[in-house]
Amino acid sequence: MELKRGLVHLYTGSGKGKTTAALGLCLRALGWGLKCCFIQFIKGKETGELFSIGELPNFEFYQTGRPDYDFHPTEEDRERAKRGLLLAREKAKEVDLLVLDEINVAVHLGLIPLEEVIDFVKKKPLSLELVLTGRHAKKELIELSDYATYFQLLKHPFYRGIPARKGIDY
């Protein structure tokens, strides 16, 4: 199956589930024979999806962040994000669905200039389905997207002292 016209999805907001929704979209696309690539910006530590994705055909997964990322950007973080965007430009020519996970946060933290992401979106291949995730989405990216979904936090166990759980939260 080939997409004739790929659209742009944007998942943002304070709520949990943006990465999970993007993974679900990939799972659906794989079921119809589409090729997927998932590039995580910021994130670099082991997560459950790393293990299961390795078993799926036509699904590539990359992490560009440091395993110990602390939201205090360094020059290394900027370089890693820059390499992630270069990888995205390559993969955009090879796959049907490309997820740039936490790209909004990378822009918000100044790891990647907003203008470069806007340029990427505007010049993406016509048939590429593109997903941009992460909190703090810039209005320019929201306006460029075809789908824009805001995940709102209503309640989270973290605020009751329950830490992130392996297999559920990562």
List pLDDT tens digits, range 95-118: 999 999 999 999 999 999 999 999
In tens, the pLDDT along 113-144 reads: 999 999 999 999 999 999 999 999 999 999 99
Q: Which stretches of the chain are DSSP H helices?
A: 18-31, 48-53, 75-91, 103-108, 114-123, 139-144
Question: CA nearest 108: which of 139, 87, 65?
Answer: 139
pLDDT attached to residue 128: 98
CATH number listed for the domain at residues 8-109+123-153: 3.40.50.300
DSSP string, 102-149: THHHHHHTTSS-HHHHHHHHHHS-TT-EEEEE-SS--HHHHHH-SEEE
- The helix (run of H) or strand (run of E) holding residue 59 is strand 59-63
Other CB atoms within 10 Å distance of the CB of residue 90? 10
The stretch 21-25 carries a mean pLDDT of 98
Instruction: Say yes or no to pLDDT of 146 above 90.
Output: yes
Other CB atoms within 10 Å distance of the CB of residue 105? 22
Instruction: Say yes or no to pLDDT of 1 above 80.
Output: no
| CA distances, 77 to each of 9, 10, 25, 98 (Å) | 25, 23, 28, 21
Total length of the chain: 170
In tens, the pLDDT along 24-77 reads: 999 999 999 999 999 999 989 888 888 888 889 999 999 999 988 888 999 999
